[in-house]
Amino acid sequence: MGKGIINKYSEYLPINNKVSNLSIGEGDTPLVKSRSIGRTLGIDSLYFKLEGCNPTGSFKDRGMVIAVAKSLETGNPRLLCASTGNTSASAAAYGAAAGLETIVLVPKGNIAIGKMSQAIAYGARIISINGNFDDSLNIAIKLGEDQSRFTLVNSVNPYRIEGQKTASFELIDELGDAPNYLYIPVGNAGNITAYWKGFKEYFNLGKSTFTPKMMGIQAAGAAPIVQGSPVSNPETIASAIRIGNPASWSTALSARDESGGEIDAVSDDEILNAYKRMAREEGIFCEPASAASVAGLIKHVHKGFNISSKTVVCIITGNGLKDPPIANSLAESPPEEAAPDLIKVMKLIDKRG
């Protein structure tokens, strides 16, 4: 546990001088078998990969450790990214660990409060852009062209993809073979690209006997890939994937087509339902974007997909603590109150049964 992906998978990563001390414990995330949702869907082998257990609470850390390690190798200066929140939290953390300045561009008013708190705590310079993520990314990409000034650490940086592919290795190492279906939320589409790269590499090395079908899930209000054209004003409760023009669009299509998978969309209601079920039936508190993968699976089974005998993995990309207001909105009523008196508390408990 906690070796970090550079140590664990160095032979498959493009690292020259081992910058392994950059690890803050990314990778080796739990693969948890479903206790409830799988049963209700009739799937015996449904697993959740808890990427929210990474050091900054999302999968971004796998890619960030490599992108920042490469930046150190080449002597590149400060880190720069645009982000719906998780990339900025991760960049800020690894920037701090590496002793590099980190500048993050975030869409004003549209990043979850926990993610903003992380960027502040890790000491990043935060620039709020009066626009959406796509506007922020366009600016970051332009700035990043000057490599003598910035290392762009968005997933257009190929080292991000290299690091993130290690999650596929972990799945195959743990399951003994690839899963049949991989459900994964899609925003900027770097992660589906990375998983597919990892699955293909491990397959070519003979570590698995087949590759999974890649099932990418977007939010209905931010589903450019499903619609086939960019969305100029993406809207969804899942702020992490509120993206209208994904940078890795074409490689997401390759992942879908080469794997025989699908990219589909789910409504905010479906996302919230899956989010609540994950917390209340599985004990897994994830962020809304992460619940999109589960919502996609539920939708497909209800539509008549017969995958009951298959091994299915949903990628749970981020921790629920990132976005507390969404969790608070599930409260049916305010907390009950009682005087600091044993009898009164007992009576109150008995009243509700």
Residue numbers of the site for ligand F0G (CB under 6 A)? 58, 83-87, 155, 185-191, 240-241, 287, 289-290, 317-318
Nearer to ligand F0G, 87 or 311 (CB): 87
Residue whose CB is less far from ligand F0G, 211 or 317: 317
Under 8 Å between Cβ of 276 and 330 = yes
Given a contact cutoff of 8 angstroms between Cβ atoms, the answer to whether 80 and 95 are in contact is: no
Instruction: For ligand F0G, give the closer residue by CB, 141 or 348.
Output: 141
Cβ contact 153:163 at 8 Å: no
Q: Counting runs of H as helices and runs of E as strands, what totals does the chain give? A: 15, 10
DSSP class per residue in 216-246 = EEEETTB-HHHHTS--SS---S-GGG--SS-
Euclidean distance between CA atoms 298 and 305, whole angstroms: 10
Q: Are 292 and 226 in contact (CB under 8 A)?
A: no
In the complex with ligand F0G, the residue whose CB is nearer, 236 or 290, is 290
Q: Whose Cβ is closer to ligand F0G: residue 6's or residue 225's? A: 225
- Minimal distance, residue 229 CB to ligand F0G, in Å: 18
Q: Nearest approach, Cβ of 334 to ligand F0G (angstroms)?
A: 29
Q: How far apart are CA 236 and CA 244, in angstroms?
A: 11
Q: How far is the CB of 42 from ligand F0G (least distance, A)?
A: 27
Shortest Cβ distance from residue 318 to ligand F0G (Å)? 3
Residue 321 vs 348, nearer CB to ligand F0G: 321
Both tokens of 105, joined, read: 């561009």
258 closest CA partner among 213, 225, 312: 213
Minimum distance from CB of 212 to ligand F0G (Å)? 17
C-beta separation of 47 from 32 below 8 A:
yes
Identity of the residue, 111 or 298, whose beta carbon is nearer to ligand F0G in the bound complex: 111
CB of 317 to ligand F0G, least distance (A): 3
Asked if 290 and 317 count as a contact pair (C-beta separation under 8 A), the reply is yes
Q: At 268, list the tokens.
A: 């905010």
CB 62 to ligand F0G: min, Å: 11
Cβ-in-10-Å burial (0-12, 13-18, 19+) of 75 comes to exposed
Q: How far is the CB of 147 from ligand F0G (least distance, A)?
A: 21
186 or 215: CB nearest ligand F0G = 186
- Round to whole Å and give the CA distance between 8 and 114: 29
